[in-house]
Amino acid sequence: MQLKKLIGTKDFYRVLLAVAVPIMIQNGISNFISLLDNVMVGQLGTEQMSGVSIVNQLFLVFNLCIFGAVSGAGIFGAQFFGKGDLEGLRHSFRFKWYMTLALFALAMALFLLAGDPLIRLYLHSGSETGDLALTLHYAKQYMAIMLVGLLPYTVTQIYASSLRETSRSVPPMLAGVAGVLVNLSLNYVLIFGKLGLPALGVRGAAIATVVSRFVECGSLILWTHLHTEDCPFIKGAYRSLYVPRPLVRRILRTGAPLMLNEGLWAAGTAALLQCYSERGLAVVSAMNITNTVFNTCSVAFIAIGSAISILIGQRLGAGEREEALDAAGKMIFFSLLTGIASGILVGCLAPYFPYLYKTTDEVRGMATGLTLVIALAAPIHAFLNASYFTLRSGGKTLLTFLFDSGYVWCVNLLLALALIHLTSLPILPIYAICQFVDVVKCVIGGILVKKGIWIRDITGKTPSAPAEKGNVT
């Protein structure tokens, strides 16, 4: 009987997949191209692969800070859409510009002034693999070019998140597809020097990524402004830069913990990798391989998490509290099933995937072991991802802050530091212990979701002109 409550109707899954599948396709293609990109760089050598991996780990902190900024306002955007309040949507859209541009400026200053010492944090001896000085050289080459792509990435997230909040998931997907196809084509040409062009190695990979980000950004902006009937919130969005102060305070009160959470979570994962790297540079290369295959195979439950945030937010905005709680349970269960399927796929690929890289047997063996560990932990990640987005949809961002990044810093990272510095254990059991300690977090997440303390409508009355009616689907 309890299991039946976790299974929805055909219409339920049709609505869920209508939002999730475009996100899934976009993320799937993007991650698959990233996989090919990663493998191409991996053909250059271990130092090149490690240098690019370190820089991408640092940029992940920026990317998730941007994600947190647009998501904080996006909680309001989804609920405004549920109410049919287009003026509220415009205010949340403008707020995203202010927050993300401030983060962009801070990130540029940090990477320009402290890029070198940040990279050096990951460079440790202790394994047979890798030249530390050469890895630093390639990492600095890659970072210098990749900085140019931070601005178009930022603008893309502003537009893509706003469209998804209004159930327009296909345009961001198509723009993402266009970007990754450009990235793949240019990668092959610029990394290896095809069509008469010089072989640029890691610089070629960076140039390809930057160009693809401009393509994705430009096509998404163009589509949005050419389809104002499908995106009515964009009409008049730039006639004013005004965002009502009461709404700013509410978004900051709700969104600041979310943005801080995303940034601290990403910083926590970066700190975990830095901690693991103290067992030698081979660990950085092996972790890069493991994360690449896992990210590619986990797109289904990641997309479902994003869909949960949107659909539950719309239900809460429409005042459907009981429906929101019921839907949350069904969506989390569905996410768990996709996590199991993802884990099986990752486990099947684990013995073979590392051989796509031009690296040492030490790195390949380590990558296979780490990949098998994360394959077993995939259902845990799927459950946690869905629980996080459920708790977030009602604006309980302080709660999600403690649940997500608080746990990473206070449990995962402290445990890793203790195991690295107080024991002589090799990386594989250390990584396994740090992965499976998240079972405790699953129990906490399940209890919080079931209690329903996250259920609330945070938009209230919009401090603006009378609401226009949107097309709520």
pLDDT at 48 over 70: yes
Q: Does some domain include residue 219? A: yes
Q: Does some domain include residue 370? A: yes
- Please report the pLDDT score of residue 463 as a whole number: 39
Asked if 389 contacts 308 with a C-beta cutoff of 8 angstroms, the reply is yes
Which tokens sit at 259?
A: 């943005």
pLDDT at 355 over 60: yes
**Cβ count near 168 (within 10 Å):** 20
Q: Does some domain include residue 164? A: yes
pLDDT at 327 over 60: yes
Average pLDDT on 449-455 reads: 76
pLDDT band at 470 (very low <50, low <70, confident <90, very high): very low
- Please report the pLDDT score of residue 129 as a whole number: 62
Asked if 227 contacts 218 with a C-beta cutoff of 8 angstroms, the reply is no
How would DSSP label each residue in 153-222? HHHHHHHHHHHHHTT--HHHHHHHHHHHHHHHHHHHHHHHT-TT----THHHHHHHHHHHHHHHHHHHHH
Q: Does some domain include residue 457? A: no
Asked if 159 contacts 227 with a C-beta cutoff of 8 angstroms, the reply is no
Asked if 270 contacts 61 with a C-beta cutoff of 8 angstroms, the reply is yes
Q: 149, 158, 157: which is closest to 212 by C-alpha?
A: 149
Q: Length of the chain, please?
A: 473
More confident residue, 123 or 215: 215
Q: Does some domain include residue 459? A: no
The per-residue b/e assignment along 124-145, b for 16 or more CB within 10 angstroms, e otherwise, is beebebbeeeebbebbebbbeb
**Residue 3: exposure state from Cβ atoms within 10 A (0-12, 13-18, ≥19):** exposed
pLDDT at 462 over 50: no
Q: 211, 280, 266: which is closest to 50 by C-alpha?
A: 280
pLDDT band at 84 (very low <50, low <70, confident <90, very high): confident
Q: Does some domain include residue 461? A: no
Helix pair angle (299-317, 321-349), 10° resolution:
170
pLDDT averaged over the chain? 84
pLDDT band at 457 (very low <50, low <70, confident <90, very high): low
Q: Does some domain include residue 460? A: no
pLDDT band at 281 (very low <50, low <70, confident <90, very high): confident
- Please report the pLDDT score of residue 458 as a whole number: 57
pLDDT at 354 over 60: yes
Q: 144, 148, 138: which is closest to 211 by C-alpha?
A: 148
Residue in the structure block whose two tokens are 């893309």? 156
**Cβ count near 443 (within 10 Å):** 10
Q: How far apart are the first and last CA of the chain?
A: 31
pLDDT at 2 over 80: no
Share of the chain above pLDDT 90, in %: 33
- Please report the pLDDT score of residue 471 as a whole number: 35
pLDDT at 376 over 90: yes
Encode pLDDT of 244-260 as tens digits. 888 888 888 877 777 78
Residue 5, classed as helix, strand or coil, is helix
Out of 69-78, 150-159, 198-207, 214-223, pick the least confident: 69-78
pLDDT band at 381 (very low <50, low <70, confident <90, very high): very high
pLDDT at 30 over 80: no
- Total tally of structural domains belonging to the chain: 1
- Please report the pLDDT score of residue 428 as a whole number: 94
The DSSP 8-state label assigned to residue 408 in this structure reads I
Encode pLDDT of 413-448 as tens digits. 999 999 999 999 999 999 999 999 999 999 988 888
Average pLDDT on 57-65 reads: 87
More confident residue, 211 or 312: 211
> What's the pTM value of the predicted model, to 2 decimals?
0.76
**Cβ count near 249 (within 10 Å):** 10
- Please report the pLDDT score of residue 388 as a whole number: 84
- At residue 414, what are phi and psi to the nearest 5 degrees? -65, -40
Q: 268, 234, 266, 263: which is closest to 69 by C-alpha?
A: 263
- Please report the pLDDT score of residue 460 as a whole number: 55
Q: Half-sphere exposure (CA, 13 Å, Cβ side) for 296?
A: 23
CA 460 – CA 469 distance, rounded (Å): 16
Which CA distances in Å does 89 have to 243, 464, 468?
Answer: 11, 11, 10
Q: Does some domain include residue 217? A: yes
Determine the Cα angle at 464 with ends 462 and 470, to 5°: 70
pLDDT at 367 over 90: yes
pLDDT at 318 over 90: no
Range of the domain at 22: 4-451
* Dihedral-angle region of residue 201 (phi above 0 means left; psi in -120 to 50 means alpha; beta otherwise): left
- Please report the pLDDT score of residue 243 as a whole number: 83
Q: Half-sphere exposure (CA, 13 Å, Cβ side) for 280?
A: 14
